């Protein structure tokens, strides 16, 4: 494997000589973490630059949704369930973790279906599950809602902040940018299929490669992208065939279509993007926390905004890297993050901090 990596490194360097400055965006937060973990940047020539995009679901969750989650979690009748990455995302001076420290009933779950068990165990409480993530995790939330409906659960609801990746990529890159090629997210592609990213080549006119997450897989995808740039090709190539098919997971897609419908959604750093969110359909609306707690959430405002000097929004647009931030590694660290890119394990700042920035 080491010999193969060295060969790819040499081939990439040879191709890069003829291309000048090349900026490649990795969309997925797990790719960002893997690139730092395996020191892939150090294997590339200086004129090949990698930047992160809006592929960390925790990071792109807007302040409005964080404020609403904290408002729900504060209520005495609520047991609030969420993934651990959401706990330290700040809203001004507050976070779900700060509420937990004050004794609020907040449960970290590893699967949305854990919320169903909690609801069964606490029939006198309202269990609210914070549904975040892209097409990778949304089917599990759909399965939770379907299961709750089948067993007639009345004390369970979902605060849905799920988003879909393709509209965000289109919004970010359609106006022209310095991005020369795209490393597409392997996890999302396992659900929606490699063909779902064909628009990157067809409409944005950029080379794209769906990639896995091991060092070899990422380097192979980068080599593929540079070969396409060298030849002037604009294609979307599936470099992760052991997990990704062209059409995706039909069962998961059918479940998404059954429970959710597209809606406009606000992304941190990108603003409102048409058709990029998932809303619970009318049939399952009784499980929608935004409807069940409409009166409570009606007065929630978006609050304090970004911490002064925080550049998470620029990082999510690929305009900056974490070390550009004056707070990185100082006032902003994983245990006390100023922004979501440091709070989430898939955030760029957390990856730079953990593996060296």
pLDDT in tens, 89-132: 999 889 999 999 999 999 999 999 999 999 999 999 999 999 99
- CA dist 116 and 92 (Å) reads 31
Question: Region 268-288: what's the mean pLDDT?
Answer: 97
- CA dist 208 and 222 (Å) reads 10
Contact indicator for 179, 27 with CB cutoff of 8 Å: no
- CA dist 353 and 348 (Å) reads 9
Indicate whether 302 pLDDT > 70. Answer: no
Cβ partners under 8 Å of residue 301, min gap 6: 67
- CA dist 145 and 152 (Å) reads 10
Contact indicator for 240, 217 with CB cutoff of 8 Å: yes
Share of the chain above pLDDT 70, in %: 97
Question: Region 293-307: what's the mean pLDDT?
Answer: 73
Instruction: Give me the phi and psi of 233, to 5 degrees please.
Output: -90, 150
pLDDT score for 305: 65
pLDDT score for 303: 56
pLDDT score for 165: 98
Predicted confidence band of residue 350 (pLDDT cuts 50, 70, 90): very high
Predicted confidence band of residue 301 (pLDDT cuts 50, 70, 90): low
**Fold of the domain spanning 2-15+22-56+182-238:** Rossmann fold (3.40.50)
Beta bridge partners of 216: none
**Residue linked to tokens 């409005």:** 64
Mean pLDDT of the chain: 94
What is the distance of C-alpha 64 from the center of its chain? 17
CATH 3.40.50.11750 residue ranges of the chain are: 2-15+22-56+182-238
Indicate whether 357 pLDDT > 70. Answer: no
CATH 3.40.50.11740 residue ranges of the chain are: 58-164+248-297
**Fold of the domain spanning 58-164+248-297:** Rossmann fold (3.40.50)
Share of the chain above pLDDT 90, in %: 89
- CA dist 81 and 105 (Å) reads 9
b/e map 61-85, b = 16+ CB within 10 Å: bbbbbbbbbbbbbbeeebbbbbbeb
Predicted confidence band of residue 233 (pLDDT cuts 50, 70, 90): very high
What is the distance of C-alpha 177 from the center of its chain? 21
pLDDT score for 336: 93
pLDDT in tens, 190-221: 999 999 999 999 999 999 999 999 999 999 99
pLDDT in tens, 137-182: 999 999 999 999 999 999 999 999 999 999 999 999 987 778 999 9
pLDDT score for 289: 97
- CA dist 129 and 159 (Å) reads 6
């Amino acid at each position: 494997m080491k010999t193969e990596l060295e060969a790819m490194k040499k081939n990439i360097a040879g191709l890069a000589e003829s291309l000048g400055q090349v900026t490649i965006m990795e969309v997925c937060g797990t790719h960002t973490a893997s690139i730092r973990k395996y020191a892939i940047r150090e294997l590339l020539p200086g004129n090949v630059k990698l930047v992160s995009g809006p592929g960390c679901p925790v990071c792109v969750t807007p302040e409005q949704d964080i404020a609403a989650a904290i408002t729900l979690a504060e209520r005495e009748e609520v047991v609030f369930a969420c993934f651990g990455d959401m706990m330290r995302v700040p809203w001004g001076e507050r976070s779900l973790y700060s509420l937990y420290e004050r004794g609020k009933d907040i449960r970290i779950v590893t699967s949305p279906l854990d919320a169903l068990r909690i609801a069964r165990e606490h029939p006198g409480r309202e269990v609210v599950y914070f549904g975040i993530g892209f097409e990778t995790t949304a089917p599990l939330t759909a399965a939770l809602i379907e299961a709750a409906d089948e067993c007639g659960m009345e004390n369970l609801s979902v605060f849905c902040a799920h988003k879909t990746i393709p509209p965000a990529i289109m919004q970010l890159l359609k106006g022209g940018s310095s991005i020369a090629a795209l490393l597409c997210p392997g996890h999302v592609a396992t659900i929606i299929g490699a063909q779902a990213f064909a628009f990157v080549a067809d409409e944005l006119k950029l080379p794209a490669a769906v990639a896995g997450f091991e060092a070899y897989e990422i380097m192979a995808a980068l080599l593929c992208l540079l070969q396409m740039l060298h030849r002037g090709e604009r294609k979307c190539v599936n470099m992760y065939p052991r997990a990704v098919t062209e059409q995706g997971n039909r069962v998961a897609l059918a479940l998404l279509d059954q429970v959710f419908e597209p809606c406009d959604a606000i992304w941190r750093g990108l603003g409102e993007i048409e058709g990029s969110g998932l809303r619970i359909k009318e049939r399952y609306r009784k499980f929608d926390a935004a409807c069940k707690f409409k009166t409570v959430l009606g007065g929630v405002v978006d609050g304090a905004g970004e911490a002064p000097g925080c550049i998470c929004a620029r990082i999510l647009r690929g305009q900056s890297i974490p070390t550009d931030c004056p707070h990185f590694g100082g006032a902003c660290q994983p245990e006390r993050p100023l922004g979501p890119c440091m709070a989430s394990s898939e955030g760029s700042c957390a990856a730079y901090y953990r593996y060296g920035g």
